[in-house]
Amino acid sequence: MSTTPAAGGPAPGRHERVAAEEAGMRLDLGVAQWLGVSRTRAATLVATDRVRVNGARERASYKLEAGDRLTADVPPPEGRDIVGENIPLAIAWEDDEVIVVDKPAGMVVHPAPGHWSGTLVNALMGRGGALTPAGDPDRAGLVHRLDKDTSGLLLVARTERAHRTLSAALAARRIERKYAVACWGHLESDRQTVDKPVGRDPRDRQKMAIVANGRTAKTDFRRLARFPSADLLQARLHTGRTHQIRVHLSSIGHPVLGDDIYGGGGGRRLAALPPRRHWLHAAWLRFPHPVTGKVVDVRSPLPSDLTESLVALSEGADLFAAPLTLEYFGFYHDAD
């Protein structure tokens, strides 16, 4: 019997927990957060009577209370096949243990309802080579995720050893993730930290929000350039909550350009952004190699659509004495 699931997802067997930070959540969402699985898989566990609350069966919509005793009997994975597909991928770095993918905007990361094909996982499987089966089988090898319309660097483990080690490094905040982001308006200062808890929006469960009972979330922002209507920022994640950068910037009145969900979708033509594209790019990833321990430093240049957006945001000003790159704006100047 296990009280805490292993990193990367729960092992088959019985798991127990006393609800604490899950208080106020629906049962399916609380189980998903506790076990580290998708909401769909959590809902399936609840619907098939594999989850009990204080010894009783409850619906997925049951609102958890602090002190509720949760038990989950996790079956072995059914092994639903993930179909490999011949989808081109930009690989920024790889060896026998790790792959760093430079994901394009618009690509869903893993199979889920509505997106059973065409995902990054399908592309990785179609590429051949080993991927760790650790955790949810639909997310084979993924150490972290990116939103569909966020581009940039994503870390994938090829072995169980790499997945275990990198997941622990992520939890211990030894993996550095820095994003290039443009927001509407101007921050109060050149450097600003937002330290606000993030959780499911109680009014719209498809969104995240700043909520008192949310999970700790902290983001450092550094202004790289000030345009007439927007700021170009470097965002450094201390934690990795769902939609963290987008929610934090929205909470201080400066939503991400093109973010239709969190208030930044207006003015898309002014920012020269394509439909459904928001201005967020995972440009810098630094992590300890899971075998050697040496720091691996991987960088991704701005995609062409975001570069074109910067030209539009400049409103014709003669700002650029060099090619318009993240290096030009000093994005990488604060390397340790």
Q: Which residues are catalytic?
A: 147
Burial class (CB in 10 A: 0-12, 13-18, 19+), 246: buried
HEC assignment per residue over the chain: CECCCCCCCCCCEEEEEECCCCCCCEHHHHHHHHHCCCHHHHHHHHHCCCEEECCECCCCCCECCCCCEEEEEECCCCCCCCCCCCCCCEEEEECCCEEEEEECCCCCCCCECCECCCCHHHHHHHHCCCCCCCCCHHHCCECCCCCCCCEEEEEEECCHHHHHHHHHHHHCCCCEEEEEEEEECCCCCCEEEEECCEEEECCEEEEEEECCCCECCEEEEEEEEECCCEEEEEEEECCCCCCHHHHHHHHCCCCECCCCCCCCCCCCCCCCCCCCCCCEEEEEEEEECCCCCCEEEEECCCCHHHHHHHHHHCCCCCCCCCCCCCCCCCCCCCCC
